[in-house]
Amino acid sequence: MGIIHHGKLIALGTPIELRQKLGMIAVEMQTFEKGTEYRYFPDRALASEFIQRLPGAERVVMRESNLEDVFIEITGQKVLGG
């Protein structure tokens, strides 16, 4: 699988390889001050450790990362869909 951004190939690999480079587990944190932030971890154990040390997020979600996460992190842009 390849990720193309503005006509250039910027990442290449299987879906699992691309997710592994980013982190297999995503943690979404919402705060009033900063909005939603994302952090990525290789496994649930490390993500859980991180969550336990969070000072004051309003909402925290732990989930598996996906290819949209990979695209957004690499490009800095959200996926446009319809």
Q: What's 73's DSSP letter?
A: H
79 vs 72 pLDDT, higher one: 72
Question: Where do the domains of the chain lie?
Answer: 2-75
DSSP letter for 42, please.
S
Q: Which pTM does this prediction carry? A: 0.84
> pLDDT, tens digit, for every residue of 19-64?
999 999 999 998 888 889 999 999 999 999 999 998 866 899 999 9
Whether residue 68 has pLDDT greater than 90: yes
